[in-house]
Structure 1
Amino acid sequence: MSVCNPEQLATTQKAVENKVALLFQFLSHKDNDVSLGVCDFAREYVQFLKQQSSVGAYRFAGKSNAEAMLCIIIKKYKYNDSYNFDHQGEAEISFDDYRKSLKVLFDNLAQLDYELVLCTTKAMITITLQQWKNLPFQEVEVALTFLYLLGEAVPASHGNHFVGDGDKPSSMTELLRLLVTSNVSTYGHTAVTLQFFETVVRYEKFFGLEPHHIPDILVAFMDERGLHNRNSRLRSRICYLFSRFIKCLKLHIQGYTEDILKQVQDLLLLAPPENGFSTMLLIPEDQLFLYEASAILVVSSQFEAQHKKLLLKNLLSPVMAKFETLLQQLQMETDKNRSRAVAECMSHAIACTSRTSKAFSNQQTMKTTGVVQVYTDTLKVFLRALEIPHERSVLQTAVRQFLHRMVICLEEEVLPFIPLAAEWLVKDADCHSIQEFIPLINQIIGKFKKNIVSFLQRIFIPLVTAIFNALAVPIDENDQEAQRERQVLQRSYFLFIAAIVTNNITEVLASQDMQSMEQVLQTIIQGAVDFPDPVAQKTCFSILRKMVEFWGGPDGEAGFVEFMYKSIIPACFVAPLKETFDLTDAQTILALSESALCLRTIYEKRGDEFANYLLTQYLPTLNIVPERITDYCQALKSEPKVFKSYLRIFFQQAKS
């Protein structure tokens, strides 16, 4: 439009305006497919109006047309009577997609003229909420939906719609005040009820400004409108929304903690394995949200530490009791299906307890809250599951995930439990189990470093042996899943060694016997050279570089300098020269860069001794012409960035 002269602009404008009546006719057509067919043109027309607005030509017909389009969008957004909210088929999915297209138009109109959008929707929402008892559910639902959509469409000050300059904050405050005082949550239709809760949580900042409305919202969450609703799909979504509401407004809900815990008590009961969740109001995933919300209420409350401990213990004691009963049942169970059901219930019990740990933060830790013993007691109970030979995969996964959380939240209090847990998690472990265990060990290393050296020294060889044994199990070359799992385990093994050297606890390696140490070092060289896996190669070169930093100098470990010259230096040349080392691949270039840093570190540790070795002994064995050998040694002494760039060219030429 910017290149058009005034005459062309007027002609174009007239041509577009002549099509607007037809556009509105199609957009408002009773057949949604017809309406959808012109949505793209409608969006382009809004863009055209934006351009008009920028040159001051929007004020009259353009504004009127924008308002007309907005009214059509609101009307077409309404559900028809045939929409099945309980069993969605193709027609329902199609209408949901159609709504998304209308939302895009609505958002574009808001960008064009948010004052018009706010004013028009506010009038519609206000009238609807004042008369909702006499209106069909479609009218009520669409009013609540557009109140929700305003949250994204209308600009907000730092995400808060209730502060700032202009009419918008007061308009949004009026609408939310009307929403929560209108009693519309009692309408009774699933779509209206769900949209009420979605909107309440969308504008949680309103309740921070007017917290006196919170009790009414909590009652709605607790009763048959919310968590105790007869509709299972609605209950499921409201569990998530309730958790968000509690999390956002925890400081304003402190006075209601014990009342809420009593109200949700029946929803926290764990389902018996015989019946599954068919007799329960909530499925396992939904219960997790409630356990997290309940723990947040306790931890953020203003109670004394002793009372918080009591409340949290009361929350978890039924879970522990159920777990111990299931533990005894699993030991005696002979039926495979019932055994799996019991193990899954036990896993869920662990997951519920684990989820409560999300209530803690750097400011409110388990220690400062005074609940360390509550969680160490749960650890004692849960670790007993590792001794059960049945359903090991299910139980080990649950315990590992719980340990991950406890490493974060319990601090050093978790350390006494790690050796026993590690012993059982590594015992007779398969490829997948070890692969899942290594991230836990790496997390422990990163967290506690020097505090766990003696433990790592004891477990190092058993763990490495278990890894080697798992990698040695024959697999079918055509079994892609097994091949992938083996590659992941190889990467995990290298990451385990990397965690040790990166966290400066190399005494774990140095304390091993010479034969074991040599075997480990050779596997790192093998990973750097022989595995066509650039991710693993990069990790291996990083490990070698760190080892050189620690042991490559005059006072390093006995025998390491010899290993450095015998194995590490050749690896930095052999690997890039292999056909599988693709110098056009981004991951491979990262591996090459790491090998360059490794060589630079050797130079920093050994100086001219290393440069002369390359010049006179090693590089001549590669049949490289003297001029290039000299160039290489000169580049080695340059800045790391320069050397990395040179190295890429060096190997490209060597392989050409």
Structure 2
Amino acid sequence: MDEQALMGLNPNADASFRQRALVYFEQLKVSHDAWQMCAEALAQGIYSDDHVKFFCFQVLEQQIKYKHTILCILQRILLFKLMVAWKFLQMLTSQPEKTFIRNKAAQVFALVFVTEYLTKWPRFFFDILSVIGLNPQGVDLYLRILMAIDAEVVDRDIGHTPEETRRNTLIKDTMREQCIPNLVESWYQILQTYQHTNSELTCQCLEVVGAFVSWIDLNLIANERFINMLLGHMSVEVLREEACDCLFEIVNKGMDPVDKTKLVESLCQVLLSAGFFNIEQEEDVDFLAKFSKLVNGMGQSLMTSWTKLVKNGDVGNAQETLCAIEAKVPLMLQLLVHEDDDISSNIIGFCYDYLHILKQLPVLSDIQKSNVEAIMLAVIKKLTYDEEYNFENEGEDEAMFVEYRKQLKLLLDRLAQVSPELLLVAVRRVFSAALQNWQTARFMEVEVAIRLLYMLGEALPVSHGAHFSGDSSKINALQEMMQTLVTSGVSAYQHTSVTLEFFETVVRYEKFFSVEPQHIPNVLMAFLDHRGLRHSSSKVRSRTAYLFSRFVKSLKSQVNLFFSFSFFFFLELTLLISQVPENGYQSLLSSDDQLFIYETAGVLIVNSEYSAERKQVLMRNLLTPLMEKFKMLLEKLMREEDEDRQAALADCLNHAVGFASRTSKAFSNKQTVKQCGCSGVYLDCLRTFLPALSCPLQKEVLRGGVRTFLHRMIICLEEEVLPFIPTASEHMLKDCEAKDLQEFIPLINQITAKFKAQVSPFLQQVFMPLLHAIFEVLARPAEENDQSAALDKQMLRRSYFAFLQTVAGSGMSEVLANQGVENVERVLFTVIQGAVEFPDPIAQKTCFIILSKLVELWGGKDGLVGFGDFIYKHIVPACFLAPMKQTFDLTDAQTVLALSECAVTLKTIYLKRGPECIQYLQQEYLPSLQVAPEIIQEFCQALQQPDSKAFKNYLKVFFQRAKP
């Protein structure tokens, strides 16, 4: 072997040696005799370096994976000799091989097995067993090979091709016939030999049994000698977790429901007799986590059996199985309520399925009702936070508890389905106890009480009070609890978890306030003062901003009853905390949070009962500080030289525009800007913000913000915005990049589609400047491998065609027609080019839509001068050239849509030009493509059929036949 190259395998080797090693590896992968060289090197123990040995096994792995068909009998003998030598070499050394090398060796031998067992090496396992004996090194290799075989043949988490799946099924069938009893006997001998002297090998062997038991004859394992041995292992500290896993796999095996019940019951009886059900005496939480998984498996297996028996009408055995399930419930409850969440989490599946069974029973017994209540109390207890939960800096443990809480939420929902009355009574009891003494109660008790009230909203069916009644005689438990929540003063509790749960719950039950609006002022104050938006915790302030927005929007009519009470306080708060920060000043709320605040302020103003004049004054009071700040910051930006400071100022300006824009979301079709008298305020905002477009600094950020504001104003101000569009467009078309244009075009599309003829003069004026800017950017050279630039150009090209589609489809075709003959031709040729040359089905589809629309508008006898010739010279050929391209993939959904629009274009040409079109296709164009006369006739007949869908289907078949 190349010793110089092998030196590069050392992690500390320099780059040149490492590169040489990589090259050498690639050479050996394709070499005919490399595997033999590597196998002999390993068998003879030539190299002691771990990295070299691993390298040799990697070469063997590649050779076997991709070149195994060339192995002859001599080569297989050599591989077997390697296995034997490898085992004896390990026996002779005092230090065993590193684990990663042993695993790689096992992986190589497993690959040999998979490729050779069925055809050339049927005695694979017998040969191995004849060599390894009960030597520890040999047993270790044997067990690792078995686990590697499981990964290659059985493991469902590893994807396989259909061919591999068939092969794996055949391997398992053959193993069951030929060698599984021998393998099982070897496992028993290994377990018996090493259970007291070598825990590592014993655990490995238990893992093998657990892996194989799912597809072999269960009677080989589930028998007295094996089960007794496994139960013995359950009492050995270093073995019992693996023994638990092995028993779980045995219990989990699919089998006849009656036999499964007998198996589980016999296993439970032995475990009970051995004292394993005495959970309170067990201190090893790691073992209990495994044990709870086993109990969960036993419970779910019994319930699967019960379901099958009920379905089969076997009432007697179903009842026996149900009794067996009920007998496990006390153990299940002990594990569910265990203080360790991992132990509790592992048993939730059993609880959930048990409740599902109870839901199906017509009547619950007293014991079953008692079980339901016990599960309920356990869930309530386990929902409670620990003292150690870190609310300020949530880490992995906290994230795991949040996920665990979600599991408990599912249990609570299922409890509500089984016995909603019982759940309501339990929650009411817990809630009342906690809220009655909230000042002295611990935070977790108060939080979980409010949390349970929140959860009831989703858990209880509507018939059990998930709504509120205005009739005092029908006040339900939910309504009473909400009354207690908002009147108890608990919103002042000094813990963030309680505060957040309070606000989440009042928003969750906003319908309560429709029935009892007298509570709104207290809740509004909680939102606005130190409990909410002024809270010391940024997390609370942020969440409250969002929740307050939801609360006000959902109850805008009721909140307006208290408008004068809340708004001026709120406006003062808005101006205080929702400032545009600068000079390092950090506002109480982030910019995203402030968006909710401004939107909420807008909602309060727009939906108030004030006159339009008063609304205008209020909106001006809200937005004037923003405009003044904007002007000042823009002046600063124009003078600023430091780039970091420029970026910070641009962000501030962008936020100011965003805040103003967000207030406009409060308007609706019933409450427009004009009806509310606020047009003048927003026009002033436009005049204030538009100068930012001419700022040479931070163009991308500033243009983006102003462009978004313009989009909103086109919706809100209607035609009043039109005078501002030409100037804005002029600035946004200067010094453009592809992305700038791509984002500007939707604005022009919006104006065109909304105002149509009103913007015709403007479109006439801006049309060619916009197109020249697009053509200039598209023509700029780019690096060959610059994927980002290529994508930007592709997206700009799509936007350009979308613009043309909007113009043509909005009845504005005269805008294009009036651009002069040369410009019209240039535009039309770009559309033809887009339809044919660029392998972008989305753009191609748009281009065919444009072409069919223009044919419809200009393609008649009295249409645009010269367009008839253009149809035959360019549009018709495009309809054939595009689908014939190799890049036009007719199996792709987007491409099929493009072909559908191509069919529409051809159909439109026929409808506008009539027999002339058919004559041209029959006598000139299709013959020029060497299309057979009978196919030409067939094509023309299909085109003339009135059914457009039939022609689309025909066209697809036509091009599928035509493509080589």
Which of the five TM-score ranges fits, normalised by the shorter chain?
Answer: over 0.9
1:530 aligned to which of 829, 837, 845: 837
The secondary structure found in structure 1 opposite 2:863 is coil
Deviations, residues 96-150 of structure 1 (Å, cap 9, x unaligned):
1111111122122223333332232223222322232232111110011111111
Name the counterpart of 2:224: none
1:90 aligned to which of 377, 396, 407: 396
CA shift in 2, pair 1:222/1:644, >3 Å:
same
Name the counterpart of 1:368: 675
Name the counterpart of 1:275: 583
Structure number with greater CO (CA < 8 Å, separation at least 6) is 1
> Displacement, 1:199?
0.3
Contact 1:308–1:369, Cα closer than 8 Å, also in 2? yes
Rounded to whole Å, the distance in 1 between the matches of 2:395 and 2:755 is 53
Residue type at the aligned position of 1:526: Q
2:347 paired with 1:38: yes
1:9 aligned to which of 318, 325, 328: 318
Contact 2:465–2:478, Cα closer than 8 Å, also in 1? no
Counterparts of 1:600-639 in structure 2, within 5 Å, are: 600-638=907-945, 639=947
> Displacement, 1:32?
0.6
Identity, in percent, stands at 51
Counterparts of 1:230-629 in structure 2, within 5 Å, are: 230-264=536-570, 265-269=572-576, 271=579, 274-278=582-586, 280-629=587-936
> Displacement, 1:62?
3.3
Contact 2:337–2:382, Cα closer than 8 Å, also in 1? yes
Rounded to whole Å, the distance in 2 between the matches of 1:328 and 1:501 is 42
2:384 aligned to which of 59, 75, 78: 78
The secondary structure found in structure 2 opposite 1:79 is coil
Unaligned runs of 5+ in 2: 1-306
Deviations, residues 282-338 of structure 1 (Å, cap 9, x unaligned):
111111111111111111111111111111101111111111111111111111111
Name the counterpart of 2:358: 49
Contact 1:494–1:539, Cα closer than 8 Å, also in 2? yes
Alignment TM-score, normalising by the size of structure 1: 0.96
Residue type at the aligned position of 1:542: I
Deviations, residues 332-355 of structure 1 (Å, cap 9, x unaligned):
111111111111111111111001
The secondary structure found in structure 2 opposite 1:253 is helix
> Displacement, 1:57?
4.7
Name the counterpart of 1:204: 510
Rounded to whole Å, the distance in 1 between the matches of 2:584 and 2:514 is 40
Name the counterpart of 1:141: 447
Rounded to whole Å, the distance in 1 between the matches of 2:716 and 2:336 is 55
Residue type at the aligned position of 1:202: R
Name the counterpart of 1:23: 332
Of the structure 1 ranges 78-87 and 96-105, higher mean CA displacement relative to structure 2 is found in: 96-105
Rounded to whole Å, the distance in 1 between the matches of 2:347 and 2:359 is 19
Rounded to whole Å, the distance in 1 between the matches of 2:834 and 2:467 is 55
CA shift in 2, pair 1:508/1:403, >3 Å:
same
1:645 aligned to which of 953, 956, 959: 953
CA shift in 2, pair 1:587/1:168, >3 Å:
farther
Rounded to whole Å, the distance in 2 between the matches of 1:513 and 1:373 is 40
Rounded to whole Å, the distance in 1 between the matches of 2:955 and 2:464 is 48
Contact 1:572–1:595, Cα closer than 8 Å, also in 2? yes
Contact 1:396–1:425, Cα closer than 8 Å, also in 2? yes
Of the structure 1 ranges 527-536 and 356-365, higher mean CA displacement relative to structure 2 is found in: 527-536
Residue type at the aligned position of 1:144: I
1:109 aligned to which of 415, 437, 440: 415
Rounded to whole Å, the distance in 1 between the matches of 2:739 and 2:911 is 40
Rounded to whole Å, the distance in 2 between the matches of 1:189 and 1:448 is 54
Name the counterpart of 2:499: 193
> Displacement, 1:169?
6.6
Residue type at the aligned position of 2:583: N
Name the counterpart of 2:479: 173
Of the structure 1 ranges 56-65 and 404-413, higher mean CA displacement relative to structure 2 is found in: 56-65
Name the counterpart of 1:655: 963
Name the counterpart of 1:215: 521
Unaligned runs of 5+ in 1: none
Rounded to whole Å, the distance in 2 between the matches of 1:484 and 1:641 is 34
> Displacement, 1:561?
1.2
The secondary structure found in structure 1 opposite 2:523 is helix
> Displacement, 1:159?
11
CA shift in 2, pair 1:159/1:45, >3 Å:
closer
Contact 2:470–2:515, Cα closer than 8 Å, also in 1? no
Rounded to whole Å, the distance in 2 between the matches of 1:521 and 1:156 is 61
Name the counterpart of 1:64: 370
The secondary structure found in structure 2 opposite 1:456 is helix
Residue type at the aligned position of 2:860: G
Rounded to whole Å, the distance in 2 between the matches of 1:299 and 1:33 is 52
CA shift in 2, pair 1:556/1:115, >3 Å:
farther
> Displacement, 1:555?
1.6
Of the structure 1 ranges 87-96 and 395-404, higher mean CA displacement relative to structure 2 is found in: 87-96
The CA RMSD measured in Å over matched residues stands at 2.0
Of the structure 1 ranges 165-174 and 290-299, higher mean CA displacement relative to structure 2 is found in: 165-174
CA shift in 2, pair 1:111/1:560, >3 Å:
farther
The secondary structure found in structure 1 opposite 2:439 is helix
CA shift in 2, pair 1:160/1:410, >3 Å:
farther
Rounded to whole Å, the distance in 1 between the matches of 2:473 and 2:314 is 38
Of the structure 1 ranges 263-272 and 391-400, higher mean CA displacement relative to structure 2 is found in: 263-272
Name the counterpart of 2:430: 124
Contact 2:591–2:655, Cα closer than 8 Å, also in 1? yes
Rounded to whole Å, the distance in 2 between the matches of 1:145 and 1:25 is 24
> Displacement, 1:606?
1.3
Of the structure 1 ranges 69-78 and 607-616, higher mean CA displacement relative to structure 2 is found in: 607-616
Deviations, residues 369-421 of structure 1 (Å, cap 9, x unaligned):
11101110110110011111111111000000000100110011000000000
Rounded to whole Å, the distance in 1 between the matches of 2:920 and 2:770 is 37
Rounded to whole Å, the distance in 2 between the matches of 1:261 and 1:191 is 27
> Displacement, 1:519?
1.0
Rounded to whole Å, the distance in 1 between the matches of 2:478 and 2:626 is 43
Contact 1:347–1:394, Cα closer than 8 Å, also in 2? yes
CA shift in 2, pair 1:123/1:544, >3 Å:
same
Rounded to whole Å, the distance in 1 between the matches of 2:474 and 2:447 is 22
Count residues in correspondence. Answer: 652
Rounded to whole Å, the distance in 1 between the matches of 2:474 and 2:933 is 76
Residue type at the aligned position of 1:15: A
Residue type at the aligned position of 2:847: C
